A and B are shown apart, each in its own frame.
Chain A
């Protein structure tokens, strides 16, 4: 399905600062088309392994349609949610003020 070419599209703004007790989650390209948002401020701390389940609650279908083909960064470093899940309680935990981003397949050039 195509949207009309008059549809509004926006660049992601330089990330606004998250309010206290929250972290910033950035959406790009297909992820922002799906959520129809540039970012969300989610409650922290949150174990990284639980992030995708949290998102599925707000955006039904996002895991299968978007996240399954995306990568994830935490403060500009790539992280693997499955690997963090396998570490159990020692897995990375997203802290207040962190910047997390969903990285869809790239198309530079």
Chain B
């Protein structure tokens, strides 16, 4: 049995899918910005844009102690790859890499890294923003927000607090 402080790992290391110049992955380990950038750097790219989503210490002024992410890994990877390939094609990028963290993420740590390389900066900036919005909208990953007095499932769709995180029976 795992506690909320140490959510059980479904796998070790990193699970990933890739296509030509497109890489997506999931990991329970701390994210590494240098590694993300290295995955997309190229002599063809005049710009590398790196987005790091970090955990915030409050939601609607309520103190958040930490977050915990869970996922349906095979489906989340498939959806991430579809989004990354689409963004890569649409913005004529050199390369794109997305890594989402799972399990407990403490305040101030990164939960997602999106690294994009493009011939010119404008396509990179725009692609990064669109990519994040699509990930938040579609990828099968769920965030538990933990407060000082308990946890709650968050929904990106309506911003509403969902069902309380209940004790597991099985």
Contacts and interface: CB of A to CB of B under 8 A. Distances in A.
Interface residues on chain A, size class: 35 or more
A5 B4 contact: yes
Nearest to A99: B74
Interface stretch (B7-15, B30-38, B39-47, B118-126): B7-15
Contact of B10 (A12, A36, A105, A107): A12
Interface in B133-163: 135-144, 146-158, 162-163
Interface string A1-29: 11111111111111000000000001011
A17 to B, nearest CB: 15
B7 A11 contact: yes
A108 B136 contact: yes
Contact of A104 (B1, B78, B132, B153): B153
Interface of A is mostly: loop
Nearest to B158: A105
Contact of B156 (A10, A11, A14, A106): A106
Contacts, number: 161
Contacts of A8: 1-4, 167-168
Interface of B: 1-4, 7-11, 53, 65, 68-76, 78, 100, 102-103, 111-112, 132, 135-144, 146-158, 162-170
Interface of A: 1-14, 26, 28-30, 32-34, 36-38, 65-66, 73, 76, 101, 103-109
A109 B53 contact: yes
10 tightest Cβ-Cβ pairs between the two chains A and B? A2-B150, A36-B169, A29-B142, A108-B141, A105-B155, A109-B136, A30-B163, A107-B143, A108-B139, A33-B166
A2 B149 CA distance: 7
